[in-house]
Structure formats: structure tokens, C-alpha cells
Amino acid sequence: MSFAARLQAELEQFKQEGVYKRLNYLEAPQAARTKMQGRGEVVILSSNNYLGLCNQPEVVAAGKRALEEFGAGTGSVRFICGTFTIHRELESALARLVGCEAALSYVSCWNANEGLCPTLLGERDVVISDQLNHASIIDSIRLAKTITRCQTAVYRHSDMTDLEEKLKAARDARLRLVFTDGVFSMEGDIARLPDIVTLARKYDAVVAVDDSHATGALGKTGRGSAEHYGMLGEVDIITSTLGKALGGAAGGFTAGPAVLTDYLTQRSRPQLFSNALPPTVAGSALAAVRYLEAHPERVTRLHDNTRYFRERLTALGFKPVPGTTPIVPVILGETAQAIRMSELLLEEGVFVTGFGYPVVPQGQARVRCQLSAGHSRDDLDFALTAFRRVGAQLGLI
């Protein structure tokens, strides 16, 4: 069988199993409502655009200004060809936002995570990871294990007893790094950060939190999971993204002590061998941070929309996974049912994604709704009406 034929056979198998991903093409900006090719106007309930800043005029204008002032790209890596001042401004603003001394930007949070474990860990060190951590954390740990031969351990999801057992077993390690998501993207639940930090202090460990789904979305003013728990400044390392609540363009960052970002500048391979964030993205992200700081009511509206949608969805007879974050999963069981529901909702004008195995465990297929401050009550009521119709059609309510 030829190379192309083998790939085609596997793609056909994906389709038979109901896991083939079909792309939907948008003809307008990412917003509460947008235009989809072949569908017309749809309400988006599948975006990480939590604050509705993707198309905020101030954010877009700042990206244009940075494009005109600094050009389209950086030309090379920062230490070779120079670092634009806008990157320095952005990193200062990001550090302030998440309550850390310093921050270092990357082209994605995937790269930020990938640059962390292999840089910090060696043979005498151990990284302890939550069972449901994001794939970027998992790959960072795999890479570190391969390159530096560090030790690894996984604790059951949010199980503090199991985490403590793993910390006890790692007493002899030079560095004990506990790595967790702040908000787990498929479940929408929040890491037990106070308990994790308490255990880390007890066993002299360092805590790293990927706050990608929390930055801009959690806390009274959107400063993330640490603010949510009243713990700003108490988390050792925070990685996060610019590609979700902060305008949704691209980019990520690592924040922590200044000595950490300096060390990553010297040794982190994604930093040393990849171009910096495009200036236009840095400009729009900086404007998004400043907009968030000036408009905390956006966060309040996001939280209000989340409560409203959860309450009304439950009243319809659905059983969303309990929680308070703007990620609202509805568990359906089998992959085919989740995919079918998402297709029927799209026919009703609501764009929401169905997920099945291997993205989520067998038997835990779901549609994952994501709320935004950009949604009006009319948008949410339109979506809820679609859920009622489709739920009745599928016999779910």
C-alpha cells in the first residue's frame, strides 16, 4: 500500500468511527455571532473568546498600529536580531496581570509549556502532573523525560491524597515540580490550587499552573485561577495564552520570578530557536490586557452569562457538568451522539463542537459550550431554544 493510500484508509476509518474533523469556514470575525460559509449567521458557543475581545475595535486598531510601526515579522530570534520594545511592554503587562515579577512571551502557550520542563528538569528532578492535564503539558513532560531523563509521576485528577503520596515518594529529588492546568478545558473544573500550594510548601516543591482557560475568565478582574482563590503572587510559575480571552490571536507566555524568565531566555529551546511573537499580535495582546484592566465589567458580564446559561440549560432538562467556569460540557455518552447533536445544533444556527474518544474518555462524549462576555441575552436565548429543539428531537429531554 502506498503512503497516500495508507493515509486515505486511516482517514476513512476516522469517518467510520465518527471522529473525523470537518472544518467550518468563517467569513467574518470571531464574535458572539459570525457568518459561516454555507450557513449564514450563526451563534458561536465553541470559542475561547471569553471576553469578546477578538473583534474589539481598540484591540484590532492596536494590532494595525504595531504592524505599521514594527513591520510584519521579527526576522529571527530575539537574541540574534534584537527584541522589539513592544514585546518588553507586553511582558511587563502580562506579569502584572497574573501577579508575577516577570514574564516571557512565546509564539504559543504550547511552546511556553514545551520550553519549561526540558529546560528546568534534569536526571535528579521529578515533575508530577495531574491526570487530566492538557496535551501541551503532557508533551512537555514527555520531551523532558526523553531529553534530560527526568523522573515523572501522574496523580489522579484533583486527588490531593494521591498528590501527597507522589510528593512523599519524590523526597530525594533535587527539584519537585507540580504541574497542573488552572481550568481543565474538557471538564471546566478548577484546580484545587490552595491545596496544591499547601502540599507544595510542605514538601518543598515548585508549582506551575497552565492558566490558559483562566486568564481573563476567572477572578473578579480576570487575573486567573490565583485571583479566583485570593492567591495572587503565591503561585511559583504561571503559563498562559494570548489566544483565548486576551484577544484570541496567538501567543503565550511564562510568568514567575525574574530569575526564571532570564534563565528561560538563556536556555529554553523554543525561545532560542524560534522567531518571537509577530509585532502585530504583541500589539493587539497588549491592548487586550489594558482593555481588561480598564473594563473589569467584561469579566462580570462573562460570569453573569455563564450563570444564566447554566441555569436555563438545566431548567430545560439537560445535565451540564457542575461548575462555575464559562466551559459548560453536556455529557451525552457515545461519540456518534455528540457529533450528531452538534450537527443538528448547527442546522439550527448554533455552532458548538462535539467531542468524543480519544479527546475524552470512552463513554464520556459531550458537546462543550463556551460562554463569552460578548454574548447578549438574545444570543443565549437563541442558543437555548436550539438546544430545546434538538434535545427533544434526540430524546434527551
Catalytically active residues are 185, 213, 244
Task: Locate the DSSP E strands across the chain.
Answer: 33-36, 40-44, 102-106, 126-130, 151-155, 176-181, 206-210, 237-241, 252-256, 327-333, 350-351, 353-355, 365-370
Question: DSSP character for 53?
Answer: -
| CA distance linking residue 331 with residue 222, whole number of Å | 27
| CA distance linking residue 195 with residue 217, whole number of Å | 21
CB-based contacts of 357: which residues, under 8 Å, 6+ apart?
19, 335, 364, 365
- In angstroms, the Cα distances linking 6 to 1, 10, 17, 231 are 6, 6, 17, 52
For cell 464574535, the residue is 31
How far is residue 151 CA from its own chain's centroid? Answer: 26
| CA distance linking residue 256 with residue 235, whole number of Å | 8
